[in-house]
Amino acid sequence: MRWKTILFLLGAVLVAGGGYTAWIKLRPAGLPPGFAKSNGRLEAERVDIATKFPGRIEEVLVREGDTVTAGQILVRMDTAELEAQLREAEAAVNESEQQLDQAISLLAQRRSELTLAEQEYERSRVLGEKGYTTTEKVQQRNAAKLTAEASVRSASAGIERAKAAITASIARVERLKENLNDYVLSAPRSGRIQYRLAQPGEILGAGGKILTLLDLTDVYMTIFLPTGDVGLLEIGAEARIIPDAAPQYVVPATVSFVASDAQFTPKYVETESEREKLMFRVKVRIPEAILQQHAKRVKAGITGVAYVRIASDAEWPDNLAVNLPKPESNE
């Protein structure tokens, strides 16, 4: 029994030793010096498609998940009331133009009256000097001439008022036409519709959100790194992203942002041990060219691991060599 026990224990030790040796040989290689890693989530730049003016939604032309291009019409708002205001403003332009014509005609009439009044006054003045008419008559003709001069000035001012009215009416027409353009909501950039927040027939106030658009050419992963790593990190440093949903792929990226303020720490940090707890937010952005090649695969919200090179002379290990799926056009 004793020998059997010894043999059993010896076999167990050999098996355990062999298993440990195999684990040492087969375990994944650790991250070499000059690199840092952190978990994160893919995010895309989000754009809210919202109304500029209050109104009723007439038509929503896209659904959630649709891919749209910059300038594509997404939503039409009800413009019946605005179109009526535009017709009214255009009618006001025509009316102002007619008033200008009338003011011009009135000015011509007033100038003719002034010419006659000046002639009559001059005739009366000459006759008065010779004693053939009374002073009272001369004064009456002078008063008539002054009245005619005032009428000419008033008619001239009427022309300026009519011109100003035309300018104001035209400006109102242009403003209403510009507002009509704002009642048609277009995609400010290419992307994918993430959420449809309102339906046709709903009445929204100014700034009411209708759609949420994700710009799939602006995708990044937000990670957090400790002080020691961030102190060596440069903007533009190379990075790699491995999505949890597709760990066989290694996506190249670039460090595009490093926060200037730390997070997850006390407001005041005095000791070295506390400073080691400082974590800084870092953005690792995927190149636009790669995103365009694989637009159908790009999805915001996917978790993964980002690796960043904090030493410029560090060589990427083989398991982090870039490995992308075939471009969609070739699939």
The answer to whether position 223 is within a domain reads yes
Range with the poorest average pLDDT among 188-192, 293-297, 315-319: 293-297
Taking residues 174-186, report their average pLDDT: 92
Do 91 and 123 belong together in one domain?
A: yes
Yes or no: say if 168 and 191 are a contact pair by the CB < 8 Å rule: no
Do 221 and 322 belong together in one domain?
A: yes
Yes or no: say if 61 and 74 are a contact pair by the CB < 8 Å rule: yes
Do 232 and 172 belong together in one domain?
A: no
Do 137 and 40 belong together in one domain?
A: no
What rounded mean pLDDT belongs to the chain?
84
Do 66 and 111 belong together in one domain?
A: no
The answer to whether position 7 is within a domain reads no
Domain containing residue 200 = 48-78+184-209
CB atoms < 10 A from the CB of 293, how many?
18
Q: What are the pLDDT digits (tens) for 196-240?
A: 999 999 999 999 999 999 988 889 999 988 888 888 888 999 999
Q: What are the pLDDT digits (tens) for 20-37?
A: 444 334 334 568 889 999
Do 105 and 146 belong together in one domain?
A: yes
The answer to whether position 258 is within a domain reads yes
Conformation bin of residue 29: beta by default, left when phi > 0, alpha when psi is -120 to 50: beta
Q: What is the pLDDT of residue 28?
A: 40
Taking residues 184-192, report their average pLDDT: 92
The answer to whether position 262 is within a domain reads yes
Number of domains in the chain: 3
The answer to whether position 20 is within a domain reads no
Residues 6+ apart with CB under 8 A from 331: 325
Taking residues 35-51, report their average pLDDT: 91
Do 58 and 200 belong together in one domain?
A: yes
Alpha carbon 213 to its chain's center: 11
Greater pLDDT, 326 or 273: 326
CATH number at residue 119: 1.10.287
The answer to whether position 219 is within a domain reads yes
Q: Sign of dihedral through CA atoms 214, 300, 284, 316?
A: negative
Where is the domain boundary, 194, 209, 224?
A: 209
Q: What is the pLDDT of residue 107?
A: 86
Strand partners, 295: none
Q: What are the pLDDT digits (tens) for 52-104?
A: 999 999 999 999 989 899 999 999 999 999 999 999 999 999 998 898 888 88
The answer to whether position 22 is within a domain reads no
Do 104 and 246 belong together in one domain?
A: no
Enter the tokens of residue 242. 């491995």
Where is the domain boundary, 193, 209, 225?
A: 209
Do 109 and 146 belong together in one domain?
A: yes
**pLDDT tops 60 at residue 124:** yes
Q: What is the pLDDT of residue 170?
A: 92
CATH number at residue 204: 2.40.50.100
Q: What is the pLDDT of residue 274?
A: 52
Residue tagged 């009456």 (tokens): 140
CA distance 14 to 6: 12
Alpha carbon 294 to its chain's center: 24
Q: What is the pLDDT of residue 218?
A: 87
| pTM: predicted TM-score of the whole model, two decimal places | 0.63
Where is the domain boundary, 167, 182, 197?
A: 182
Do 205 and 221 belong together in one domain?
A: no
Taking residues 293-320, report their average pLDDT: 88
Do 65 and 158 belong together in one domain?
A: no
Do 104 and 128 belong together in one domain?
A: yes
Give the rounded percent of residues in the chain with a pLDDT score beyond 90. Answer: 39
Sheet-wide strand order for 55-60: 184-186, 73-77, 55-60, 203-204
Residue 265's pLDDT band (cuts 50, 70, 90): low
Residue tagged 């050419």 (tokens): 217
Q: What is the pLDDT of residue 11?
A: 58
Q: What is the pLDDT of residue 293?
A: 84
Q: What is the pLDDT of residue 271?
A: 47
The answer to whether position 3 is within a domain reads no
